[in-house]
């Protein structure tokens, strides 16, 4: 049985149709990518699954739990990294982790979670004093606090430099290896290609195509598509950039 089952969910904001009937399912341990330009309905879809946004029509199940009905049960099995992640400016990372753990009524060692995202030495730093990349990594550590079965990462690399981006990819790959089911939204195709087992391409609140990245590329090529500028497939400009500036994180 699928971990996530989404059946024709819809969301309207007055006259605006944000999500116009989306269905998909995600297997255990899978990284599922939702791709699409800004305003495609990725975030609305994800927030409906997280229980933040009310589902107007249709239904979704996570681990068999009906999303629209069991908010509390749902909260205990999902981990969430929102698109704009801000926390309490005047608390340290350890304090925020401990506070969130107390919401779930669990005791944790903050350093374990910070080690996961290479922020161990920042445990006493206040949230407001961190860089964008560090905040994004911390957000993932915080999403893991209740040992969730399903992890939602909404545009986790937007606004990061290539080093931070690659580092975050490593973290997500590591989580996948640990068996977490992950839903990832992004508008970076290379990111989806690198991380996602399957992707759904969305636009105007609808899924246009779904499949593994390879399947989708193969399908396009089989339609007779030829890339106008053929670059050397063995490397791209970002690889050059990383080669020149190194892999080390800058923040």
Partner 1 sequence: MIKRVYNFTIASLKMTFRNRFALFMSFMFPVAIILAFGFFNNSNAPKLNIAVITGNSKSISNVKNTSVSVVENNIIKELKKSGNVKVSKVSSLSDGESQIKNNNIDLLMYVTQVSSIQPILPKCRVGYACPQFIGVSKIPHYKISFYANKFSSNIAYAELFISSFKYNVLKSTLTSTNVSIPFSYSQTLLTSGKEENSYIDFLIPGVLALSLMQGIIFAVINIIVNYKELGVLRRLSVTPLTKSDFIASLTLTRLIFGLIQIAILIVIAAVFLNVLPVGGTIGFVNLSVVIILGSLMFVTLGLIISTISNKTATVFPIANLITLPMLFLSGVFFSVSDLPSWLQNIVNLFPLTFLANALRGIYDHGYSLLTIHNDIIGMAVWVVIFFILNVIFFKWE
Positions touching partner 1 (CB under 8 A) are 50-52, 72, 75-76, 78, 80, 82-91, 95, 99-100, 102-105
Torsion of CA 192, 174, 22, 68, to 10 degrees: -150
Distance CA 111, CA 12 (A): 42
Least Å distance, CB 47 to partner 1, is 8
Nearer to partner 1, 91 or 210 (CB): 91
Least Å distance, CB 112 to partner 1, is 19
Distance CA 103, CA 243 (A): 43
Nearer to partner 1, 99 or 210 (CB): 99
Kindly report the backbone phi and psi dihedral angles of residue 165, in degrees, each rounded to the nearest multiple of 5, phi listed first: -65, -50
Least Å distance, CB 45 to partner 1, is 15
Write the CB contacts of 6 (distance below 8 Å, at least 6 apart in sequence).
Answer: 22, 23, 24, 25, 45, 49, 58, 60
Least Å distance, CB 217 to partner 1, is 34
Taking alpha carbons only, the member of 210, 208, 203, 209 closest to residue 17 is 203
Distance CA 162, CA 159 (A): 10
Nearer to partner 1, 82 or 168 (CB): 82
Nearer to partner 1, 15 or 90 (CB): 90
Nearer to partner 1, 149 or 166 (CB): 149
Query: What H or E segment, with its residue span, contains residue 71?
Result: helix 71-77
Least Å distance, CB 88 to partner 1, is 6
């Amino acid at each position: 049985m699928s971990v996530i089952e989404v059946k024709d969910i819809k969301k309207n904001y007055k006259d605006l149709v944000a999500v116009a009937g989306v269905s998909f399912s995600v297997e255990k341990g899978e990284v599922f990518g939702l791709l699409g330009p800004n305003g495609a309905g990725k975030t609305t879809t994800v927030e409906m699954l997280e229980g933040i946004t009310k589902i107007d029509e249709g239904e979704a199940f996570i681990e068999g739990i009906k999303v629209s009905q069991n908010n509390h049960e749902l909260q205990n099995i999902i981990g969430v990294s929102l698109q704009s992640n801000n926390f309490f400016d005047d608390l340290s990372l350890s304090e925020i982790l401990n506070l969130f753990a107390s919401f779930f009524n669990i005791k944790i060692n903050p350093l374990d979670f910070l080690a996961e995202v290479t922020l161990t030495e920042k445990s006493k730093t206040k949230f407001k004093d961190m860089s964008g990349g560090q905040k994004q990594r911390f957000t993932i550590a915080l999403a893991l606090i209740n040992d969730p079965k399903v992890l939602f990462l909404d545009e986790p690399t937007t606004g990061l430099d290539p080093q931070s981006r690659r580092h975050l990819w490593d973290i997500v790959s590591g989580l996948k290896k640990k068996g977490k089911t992950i839903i990832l939204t992004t508008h970076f195709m290379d990111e989806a290609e690198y991380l996602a087992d399957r992707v759904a391409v969305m636009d105007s609140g609808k899924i246009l195509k779904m499949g593994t990245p390879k399947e989708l590329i193969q399908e396009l090529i089989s339609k007779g598509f030829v890339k106008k500028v053929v670059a050397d497939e063995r490397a791209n400009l970002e690889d050059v950039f990383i080669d020149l500036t190194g892999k080390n994180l800058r923040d």
